[in-house]
Amino acid sequence: MTYRPFIFFQFLIFCAASCLLSLSLPAQQIPAEDPSGQINPPERVTVNNIFVVGNEKTRRNIILREMDIETGVTYDWEAFVELLLADEKKIYNLQLFTTATLTPLFVADEQVELLVSLKERWYILPSLIFNLADRNFSEWWINQGRDFSRVNYGVKLDHNNVGGRNEKLRVIGQLGFTQAVDLNYSIPYLDKNQLHGLAAKFNYFTNKNIPIRSIENKQFFYRNEAEDVLRKTLNAFLTYSFRGSFYNIHYLTAGFHNTRIHADVLEQNPNYFTHGSQRLKYFMATYRYRHDNRDNVAYATEGTLLDLSLTQYGLFSGDDISETEFSVLASTYTRLGKKFHFATGISGSAFFSPRQPYTLVRGIGYRPDFIRGYEVNVIEGQQTIVHKNSLRYELLNIAFDISDFMPIEEFSVIPFQLYLSANFDQGFVRDANRIPENARLTNRYLSGYGFGLDLIGIYDTVFRFEYSFNNAGTGNFFINVRAPL
């Protein structure tokens, strides 16, 4: 029916407005026990000192940067308790500690010393790479026939707290389906006031087997008979960040991109780069704003998230393209009692021209825009919008102490959380070109629903096991990594 997308977009606009409105409201706090253990707490309290223990590597100023509570300030007791809870979450969300606890110690009726107790994570993590090159596990299992040639392997070194200042360093050397070298370094604060940060990224990768188009809403991969390298890509980026408040960060990124493809790729798809050349090079710039007030950045149960970005691909006359992209991600997380919480969010992106190089193509099936039940599909177009919803119930929340036989303290406690989820997603992709072979799922309303189990383990790793149906009548079992929103 021709009017259905219009009604759907009206509904999504309403949902997006609701999400964005809620971002301007304070997150609802669950009443907590009095952290001091006082039966009759005082009306107000003054903080004399803040003591930090357990930060063997992390510098004290990095921790205090996350705290609203200051020494020498008098607080109303109820406001003080709320700040304690919020500061605990902010310190934990640095992802430098396995635990972060703030405890007020009374030294007089209205005088406290604040004890910040931390347990640091293991920061240097060398590891072997063995992962799938495909978009998700279901794509590899169903569409690619469980082909083990589509596996990446190599070595990776992560240092998540270089110098104790929350700097991140990542070095990757990778072989297999995608051969790559990847270098990343970021420092959150360059200045004494801890407002300005800088990050640099460089990567180079090659492929002998690449997606060159989508057919029947599935990626079509191509490799030539000679097993030649079909694509070589180099990226270099520099990002400046400004964090003027606890929950709001501004990013400005400048970068260079260069991709060269084999002549056979253009024979298979003459519109692969849209300008008929074997090379696509351009400078780019992105402005990004991020508001993040979630209780746990890896798997939130309350709080809000807003992420907006505007990117210009092609800055100079010598660049091969000139494309503008806008993207949005807005989510809210609401507790419904002690065990239940509800997550809802809008994500979307839009290009302003009718056709892009295939390396920039977006749509449902590409992160972060997906609909449950359509994990094996890519629905490609110029404008995408998705509305995701999940009602979750906490089945288990326990921790195993294995310190008796684990000599490394940072791994001596293994947390284990298990959530049962009921899910419903919906979305729409507008393809201005109305490509016939993909018309089954583009320019029409899409939805999916089902149930799942979400597992959160050590260092906030997330695994999701879901059975979902889509409105095309197909159901399947899917395995995913990371929280859906």
Q: Would you list the DSSP string of 256-281?
A: EEEEEE-HHHHHH-TTSSSSS-SEEE
Last-in-domain residue among 358, 383, 408: 383
Distance CA 471, CA 428 (A): 13
Last-in-domain residue among 364, 383, 402: 383
Tell whether 100 and 234 lie within a shared domain. no
Last-in-domain residue among 368, 383, 398: 383
List all residues 6 or more positions away from 318 whose beta carbon is below 8 Å from its beta carbon.
none
Q: Tell me, what's the pLDDT at 460?
A: 84
Q: Which has more pLDDT, 332 or 19?
A: 332
CB 355 within 8 A of CB 383: no
For residue 135, tell me if it sits in a domain.
Answer: yes
Tell whether 105 and 208 lie within a shared domain. no
Tell whether 215 and 352 lie within a shared domain. yes
Peptide bond into 368 cis (omega under 30): yes
Range from 134-138, 151-155, 363-367, 444-448 carrying the lowest mean pLDDT: 134-138
pLDDT over threshold 60, residue 38: no
Rounded (5°) CA angle 478-481-485 = 95
Instruction: Read off the pLDDT of residues 242-299 as tens digits, 9 standing for 90 and up.
Output: 999 999 999 999 999 999 999 999 999 999 998 889 999 999 999 999 999 999 998 9
> 395: which 2 tokens?
């089945």
Tell whether 234 and 360 lie within a shared domain. yes
In which band, very low, low, confident or very high, does the pLDDT at 401 lie, cut at 50, 70 and 90? Answer: confident
Range(s) of the domain holding residue 90:
44-120
For residue 446, tell me if it sits in a domain.
Answer: no
Instruction: Read off the pLDDT of residues 155-166 as tens digits, 9 standing for 90 and up.
Output: 999 999 999 999
* pTM metric for this prediction: 0.86
Per the structure, how many domains does the chain have? 2
Instruction: Read off the pLDDT of residues 113-129 as tens digits, 9 standing for 90 and up.
Output: 999 999 999 999 888 89
Q: Tell me, what's the pLDDT at 10?
A: 40
For residue 449, tell me if it sits in a domain.
Answer: no
Rounded (5°) CA angle 15-18-22 = 145
Domain CATH number, residue 301:
2.40.160.50
Distances (CA, A) of 388 to 20, 330, 367: 15, 10, 13
pLDDT over threshold 80, residue 40: no
For residue 223, tell me if it sits in a domain.
Answer: yes
Going by their DSSP bridges, the two strands 44-53 and 111-120 should be labelled as parallel
